[in-house]
Amino acid sequence: MAPQLLTTLLTRDDATFFRALRDGLRWLYGQGCERDWLRLIIRISAMSAATLLPCLAVFLMRRPSALQSGMWAQVALHGFPIVLLVNLAVARYYAQHLDRFLGSEPLGHFLFLLGDAAARLLLTMLLTAVSFLLWTAVKGAFAGNPASALGAVAGSFRFGIRFESLTGVYLYAIGLGAFPVFALGALPILATQRWCQAMIAPAAYLLPIFRRPLMACLLAYAAVSAVLLTLTYHALGLLPN
């Protein structure tokens, strides 16, 4: 029963949930409207703000004193542009390659999603480094030393993963914006791969929550994100070897 339920709800093209998500991404990324840059920027700006605000709320719950330290200026001049630029880069890529991504086999889906995650992380780190250098040149931050500015990037991400710096807010916001693409890539795999069905079927009988495709995707995405963040956390030197 559970495998049939998954196949009915999640298989591509003939599943209502999959089709709605695919069409929503085509609209968001401006597929077929390559010259309408203004409309694309407005859409991606709205999405960037929508993903940034909840992450910012979590940060403020952990560090309420940040409200008194010029936080909004940092978000407006430093954080939001980073989130927007990363999302725009991804949007332009998927505007051209979304159908190719959807038409690939499960291994192709996995490679696309792996490349997507790596690109988002690298772009975020690169733009953060560039912004630190700009603050150094314009405002004399980091004692006016570019080497110190670059050296602070890794530390900023280490603390950010624990929501102890605003860099983490931007990173999590970009990750949250990736959810629709990751859900779209995961749906056919969940629905058609027997090993996925075998893993999910017992839970589908025990936990009614898994009968809802959106909730199943949210839980799977949360689990994968936790693993990736733990690996990143370790790579940046916070976890003991």
Q: Over the stretch 65-117, which tens digit does the pLDDT of each residue have?
A: 777 777 888 888 888 999 999 999 988 888 888 878 777 776 777 788 888 88
Confidence class of residue 5 from pLDDT cuts 50, 70 and 90?
low
CA atoms within 13 A of residue 22's CA, in its CB half-sphere: 21
Does the reported pTM lie above 0.95? Answer: no
Would the pLDDT of 160 be above 60?
A: yes
Q: Please answer whether residues 141 and 219 qualify as being in contact, where contact means their C-beta atoms are separated by less than 8 angstroms.
A: no
Q: How confident is residue 241, by pLDDT bands cut at 50, 70 and 90?
A: very low
Buried b (16+ CB within 10 A) or exposed e, 210-226: bbebeebbebbbeeebe
Report residue 207's pLDDT band, with 50, 70 and 90 as the boundaries.
Answer: very low
C-alpha pair distances (Å), 109 with each of 47, 165, 185, 189, 210: 23, 33, 6, 8, 22
Per-residue pLDDT reduced to its tens digit, 21-53 = 777 888 888 766 667 788 888 888 988 988 888
**Percentage of residues in the chain with pLDDT exceeding 70?**
68
Nearest-angstrom CA–CA distance, 119 and 202: 35
The predicted model gives 114-130 an average pLDDT of 90
- Provide the mean pLDDT of the chain: 75
Joined together, the tokens standing for residue 203 give 């839970």
Q: Are 87 and 174 in contact (CB under 8 A)?
A: yes
SS3 of residue 224 by DSSP: helix
Q: Average pLDDT in the 135-150 region?
A: 79
Torsion angle, CA of 235/239/219/192, rounded to 10 degrees?
40
pLDDT for 83 equals: 93
**In whole angstroms, what is the distance from residue 130 CA to residue 217 CA?**
34
Residues contacting 59, CB < 8 A, separation 6+: 66, 163, 166, 168, 169
Cα separation, 11 vs 190, in Å, equals 8
The mean pLDDT value for 210-237 works out to 58
DSSP at 164: S
Inter-residue contact 217 to 227 (CB < 8 Å)? no
